Structure 1
Amino acid sequence: MQFIKTSLVFTLLFWSVCLIAQPLTRTDSSFYDVARTKISGITHWYPDEARGDTIKTGLAAFYFPNGNIKQRGYYNHGLADSLWTSYYLFGQVKSRVWYVQGRKQGSFEQYFEGGGLKYAGTYLNDSLNGAIRLYYPNGNIQEERSYSANRLNGPTTGYDIDGKLSFRMQYRDSLPDGPFEKYYPSGNIKETGSRQGQQFYGDYMAYYDNGQPEMRYTYQNFSIDGPYKVFYDDGSLKIACVYRQGRINGPYTKYFRSGQAEQKGNYADGNLSGTWEYYFENGQLYIEGNYVNNLPEGMWKVFHDNGEQKQLGKYKAGKAEGPWQFFHNNGKVRSQGNFEDNKQQGHWVHFHPNGIVQLDLYYTLGKLEGILTAYDTTGKILEQSEFIDNQLVRQIKGPSAR
């Protein structure tokens, strides 16, 4: 009996030692609600003698309130490890990412909710690294990028939704750096140039889809400097001028497609300056006047396309000032009066094309004031009214006269 008792004690002691040596695990469940009916996550834990604590290990799963899986993966000594997969609300895979000791390492993929691949690439120590591809929902490649240390470095190539080349650009530390090209859906070149961050440098060219140049100029010290030309899509010149340190300086000419000048004048440090002339496409002078610091100054003349005067008056610091006249295209006066600080002032008269007075009226700083009289083409009074502060106060003659 003593042997039996000894054996039983030894057996109990042996199993006690085995139980102590075997890691004690526990499963933790978290819930969305107090009643613990909607599970939100499950993790497994085991004791860590070195830390004197328990840490997560093994499979982990997290859920949406509707019970569908949200994310699943694996912990190793409290750190995310191996493949982790995330899901959309109704079960479609959202992403797959590989972890090693808590860091994203290796390939990853992200998907559209409809199921197609959205982008894919690789991580190195939690940072994007190497080639990354972005996709359209139809499966075509949207962009091909190069990363190092989580920043764009190297070439990036973009495509339109139909898979046609859209642009090429160089990056350094996630900023544009070097030559770039943009393309039309036809495959024809659209723009070429060079960038450093948000700045441009060197030669810039823009093209029409038919291959003809649209714009051509050069950057010096990140500012447009030198000849600046714009073209029509048939190759004919549209605008010709010169920039100095980012501002237009000197002669400026704009042309109609026919080659006839549309505008001629000068710029001084980016401002309209001196005499400017504007033309109809038939070559007839349309407008002639003077600018000072980008504002009209002095006498300005406007003509009808038949060469007859259309308007005549002076500006002071960009505002109409003094006597002005406006003309019908037969050369007869259409209206005349004075401006003060860009507002009609005093006595104004309007004329029918036959020269007979049409309206006789008065203004005070742009507001009708006093008696207004209207005449027919024979000079007969049609209507007469009184205004105070731009408001009709009395009709002396006419349909509403009393």
Structure 2
Amino acid sequence: MEYVKKCFVIVIGLIIATLTCYSFAQVAVESKAELVNVPLEEGAIISYADKEGKRVGSKEQSTYYRKLLKINGNGSYLIQDFFTDTDNKQVEPTVFTNVKDIYAFMVEDIGDIEGEYIQWFDNGQMELKGFYSKGLLEGVVTSWYSSGQKESEYNYKHGKLNGSYKFWYPDGKLQTDAQFLDGRLDGVVINWYCNGNKKEELHYSAGKLNGLVTRWFKSGEKKYEAHYKDSQIEGIESIWVKENNQLIKQEVYFNGATSQDVFVRYFPSGKKEVERHFKGNKLQGLSTSWYENGEKSIELMYENDVRNGDAVFWYKNGNKKAQGSFINNKKEGIWHYWYEDGKPEETCSVYDDNPVSCERWYANGNKKLEGTSILGKKIGLWKTWYENGMPESACQYKNEIPTCKIWNEQGQLINQ
């Protein structure tokens, strides 16, 4: 019977920690070759299996074969499996009680194991050792690599994982250290990368994440950090991502099981880059961005993912760039714009994202333009000026057709 590796998979929100353990189960799939249940005689070969533990009909198809060593008077059987090619033992003599199918290669289909169970590699190296009581694993279970290096060691009580669980890499470095209580993770779980750096550290209570969860990149930098309560994030979840070989920190504040309240992203320097507020996974309230020098870049107000309310934009030097309001994601009302030195550049009255009445200035403070539009179409009188302050044009618009006066920079009328 093949004692096959399985995995306990611990799902931790963004974290997946794989803890390797074992099961005695092999899935038995009937071979296309005819399977014959030979008479049960002590010392006889009673069945064959391929390398996957599937029962096959002949020695030529097989990787393993089984011998019936003894038929006990109490209805139990002593059986042993061997490697077909070498006749080396694959399993030590094993007692089965409550036998259902002595020919099967899936333990639960055979019956209950009683006593010590030992499994071997074909090279003669012990692969696994455990003990059964009334069909349930009891005590320490140990496995080895074919090289002889210990692979895992864990404890059972009445068929459930209970106590220390350890798993090692083939080179002997520790990969996993965990604790179980009555079949559930309980206490600290630590996983390491093969280079020896810590991969993650988790805290469990009665099978649920409770406390700090931390993950690291293979290079050693922190990758993830959050507090859990009953396997749900509580408070701030911090995530670090690598961009252009720099670590960028992001944070999400969780208030309850799934409600994101605040998202924060940081520059590599540690200064805030973005802070956004959420309600029901939709942008809600103030959203702020910063330049890396610490000066604000943008402030916007949101309602259900839609820009609604005051908006302010700044230059990197801290001076305002633009200010106005949004209604349903569209500019509305009076919008002001400035040059980087703080002097006014433009003021517009806006309706439904379209400028209505605008004034514009040069950087020296002289007026540049004034006029009125409806839905993007110019109406009425539009005036422009040269940077030196002299008038440039005066156009009267009717049905989008202008009638204009134009001057040169010296103030001389050049057409009418």
1:273 shift after superposition: 4.2
Superposition pairs of residues 3-402 of structure 1, within 5 angstroms? 26-31=78-83, 35=84, 37=86, 41-46=90-95, 55-63=112-120, 69-88=126-145, 90-161=147-218, 163=220, 166-181=223-238, 191=251, 193-201=253-261, 204-220=263-279, 223-259=282-318, 266-269=325-328, 271-274=329-332
Residue 387 of structure 1: aligned partner: none
Counterpart of 2:163, as a letter, is G
The structure with the largest alpha-carbon Rg is 1
1:268 shift after superposition: 3.1
Which has the higher relative contact order, 1 or 2, with Cα contacts under 8 A spaced 6 or more apart? Answer: 2
SS in 1 for 2:91: strand
1:181 shift after superposition: 4.5
Farther-moved stretch of structure 1 (187-196 vs 147-156): 187-196
C-alpha distance 40-104 of structure 1, shift in aligned 2 (>3 A): farther
1:223 shift after superposition: 4.3
Q: Which consecutive unaligned segments of at least 5 residues does structure 2 have? A: 1-71, 103-110, 357-362, 377-416
Q: TM-score scaled to structure 1, two decimals?
A: 0.54
1:197 shift after superposition: 3.4
Counterpart of 1:26, as a letter, is L
Residue 31 of structure 2: aligned partner: none
Farther-moved stretch of structure 1 (101-110 vs 90-99): 90-99
Counterpart of 2:254, as a letter, is S
1:90 shift after superposition: 4.3
Check the 8 A contact 2:236/2:251 in 1, yes or no.
no
C-alpha distance 55-168 of structure 1, shift in aligned 2 (>3 A): closer
C-alpha distance 95-234 of structure 1, shift in aligned 2 (>3 A): same
CA distance in 1, matches of 2:349, 2:155: 72
CA distance in 2, matches of 1:89, 1:119: 20
1:149 shift after superposition: 3.2
Q: Which consecutive unaligned segments of at least 5 residues does structure 1 have? A: 1-19, 299-304, 318-402
Residue 385 of structure 2: aligned partner: none
C-alpha distance 237-24 of structure 1, shift in aligned 2 (>3 A): closer
Check the 8 A contact 2:95/2:115 in 1, yes or no.
no
C-alpha distance 66-44 of structure 1, shift in aligned 2 (>3 A): closer
Check the 8 A contact 1:145/1:156 in 2, yes or no.
yes
C-alpha distance 67-250 of structure 1, shift in aligned 2 (>3 A): farther
C-alpha distance 209-48 of structure 1, shift in aligned 2 (>3 A): closer
C-alpha distance 291-112 of structure 1, shift in aligned 2 (>3 A): farther
Per-residue CA deviation, residues 326-364 of structure 1 (Å, 9 max, x unaligned), is xxxxxxxxxxxxxxxxxxxxxxxxxxxxxxxxxxxxxxx
Per-residue CA deviation, residues 193-231 of structure 1 (Å, 9 max, x unaligned), is 335334312x55444343433233444566443222111
Of all paired residues, the percent bearing the same amino acid is 22
